[in-house]
Amino acid sequence: MAVQTLKRIDEFRIGIPDTWVPGMRVPGVIYLDAVLGEGLEERAIKQVANVATLPGIVKASLAMPDIHMGYGFAIGGVAAFGQQDGVISPGGVGYDINCGVRLLKSNLKAGTVAPRLRELLGVLYDEVPSGVGSKGKLRLDREELEKVMALGARWAVSKGMGSLADLERTESGGSMEGADPSLVSMKARERGHSQIGSLGSGNHFLEIQKVDEIYDEQAAAKLGLFQGQVTVMIHTGSRGFGHQVCTDFLEVMEQAVKKYGIILPDRELACAPMNSREARDYLGAMRAAANYAWANRHAIMHWTREAFMRVMGMGPKDLGMEMVYDVAHNVAKMEDHMVDGRMMKLAVHRKGATRAFPPGHPELPGIYKETGQPVLVPGDMGRASFVLLGTQRAMEETWGSTCHGAGRVLSRHEALRRARGRSIYRELEDRGIIVMSAGKQTLAEEMPEAYKDISNVVDVVQGAGLSTKVARLLPMGVVKG
């Protein structure tokens, strides 16, 4: 079953008929052009089709152009489920709950920072721990961890990290309602008490960038972006805390499948009816993990600001390092959406996909009511990242969702094999990009050719009308997880 056998709906969409696998309740739709379609994994197609068999799924099983195989749902997968007959599936959220991206703007120009770049990266590397098992500078006792789970980024602000203005520029205000810390296991707590303020490993990073190209001058001005400007992008999530929450509830959901007689084509899609105790408990714990991730990114942002002020010898007003926005990737949210002419409450699962709400949406803060929601799409460490805006078409077609990144094309094992005998660090430096990493293996696993070209991915979501390009950001220096 190659991608060529699927029906192309238009230049940017491929359809999976509802007969592709037995039991499909709705069709599938993958947002891809001809170039990206050539590398589409057959197993990822199967995962999109399998999601379409889940009870209560509405309209279609969707996937963004950065699609690649994941656990249960394909990464890049989006699906919404009705409140009455739908399900909640941890595989539709993933292990790294609320892995997300935060973008900071500044008053600095690239030429001003370039002479201090290596020093700046060294300070950031010391201030923001990275790598497998890395621990942050904070050690949370039981009471403080409870507050992090309940309050998210609001906890960080209460500790003097950031401000209320930062919360306004964070999805969900940096705190998801309905978090229930009592549902989080001791093992998850043990993994989480020392990891606030750390990047972790894999594709996570802290990147100093410059605004290289502006596509929409008016929108860029409203977001505070200008040509040659220095920005900072933070990409990380809930670390081992969120991973453990997912692990714990996959076991619960596997039992729930048997209890409620749910027939699945893949055990990785383990789920429970939305109104069941198992689903409610998972959502309570997942929200606690999402809040942990927002607190984590908030702490990293705080130390990033301090590092810039120290190295550049500037106060906060002159530095002007303010948030543009913070988006979540791996979450399930209860949202209001129009379905066949009537408003419905749906559980929208976005796994490796970004919310992209349009202008005027009631959940957007006042500063972005006119523009629509900022969408932050990171590329690999050798190519660009993009700032986009959400659209009404995304709201109508994809539950207000768009892509979340470049998407892998090589497994980590294959990337290591191809990097053998090469110095990825030196290759990047030859291109003017300074990288600091906890280990050489991470650089090999995350080398640019391990990912799709982010420019192609972004062109697809713009061509499909799911989001519109505002600016392109190029890496100057990277602290790699």
Which residues are 178's β-sheet partners? Answer: none
Instruction: Say if residues 125 and 194 touch (Cβ distance below 8 Å).
Output: no
Quick one: tokens of 268?
């990785």
| Dist. CA 55–CA 38, nearest whole Å | 31
Task: Tell me the CA distances in angstroms from 328 to 230, 376, 451, one per residue in order.
Answer: 23, 10, 20
Closest CA to 356 of 92, 152, 171, 168: 171
> The whole model's pTM is what?
0.95
CA dihedral angle for residue 45, residue 46, residue 49, residue 54, rounded to 10 degrees: -140
Q: Kindly give the confidence (pLDDT) of every residue in the chain, 481 residues in length, as a single tens digit, with 9 standing for 90 and above.
A: 456 678 899 999 999 999 999 999 999 999 999 888 888 999 999 999 999 999 999 999 999 999 999 999 999 999 999 999 999 999 999 999 999 999 999 999 999 999 999 999 999 998 887 655 566 667 789 999 999 999 999 999 999 999 999 999 999 999 999 999 999 999 999 998 888 988 887 788 999 999 999 999 999 999 999 999 999 999 999 999 999 999 999 999 999 999 999 999 999 999 999 999 999 999 999 999 999 999 999 999 999 999 999 999 999 999 999 999 999 999 999 999 999 999 999 999 999 999 999 999 999 999 999 999 999 999 887 889 999 999 999 999 999 999 999 888 788 888 888 888 888 878 888 888 999 887 778 788 888 787 888 999 999 999 999 999 999 999 999 998 7
Q: H-helix or E-strand containing 345?
A: strand 342-351
Residue-range definition of the domain harbouring residue 11: 3-480
Other C-beta atoms closer than 10 Å to the C-beta of 420 total: 7
Instruction: Say if residues 240 and 95 touch (Cβ distance below 8 Å).
Output: no
The Cβ-side half-sphere exposure at 441, using a 13 Å CA radius, reads 6
Residue by residue, DSSP assigns 159-226 as TTSS-HHHHHTBGGGG--TT--GGGS-HHHHHHHTT-TT--BSTT-EEEEEEEEEES-HHHHHHHT--
| Residue 118, domain CATH | 3.90.1860.10
Exposure string of 110-125, with b = 16+ CB inside 10 Å and e = fewer, is beebbeebeebbbbbb
pLDDT of residue 1: 46
The Cβ-side half-sphere exposure at 225, using a 13 Å CA radius, reads 29
* Structural domain count of the chain: 1
Q: What distance, in Å, lies between the first and last C-alpha atoms of the chain? A: 36
| Dist. CA 47–CA 62, nearest whole Å | 10
Exposure string of 311-336, with b = 16+ CB inside 10 Å and e = fewer, is bbebeeeebebbbbbbbbbbbbbebe
Using alpha carbons only, give the angle 50, 56, 58 rounded to the nearest 5 degrees.
Answer: 80
Residue by residue, DSSP assigns 4-62 as GGSEEEETTEEEE-TTSSTT-SS-EEEE--HHHHTT--HHHHHHHHHHTTSTTB-S-EE
Which residues are 10's β-sheet partners? Answer: 13
Catalytic machinery residues: 404
Overall residue count recorded for the chain in this entry:
481
| Dist. CA 206–CA 204, nearest whole Å | 7
Other C-beta atoms closer than 10 Å to the C-beta of 94 total: 26
Q: Would you call 150 helix, strand, or coil by DSSP?
A: helix
| Dist. CA 47–CA 36, nearest whole Å | 17
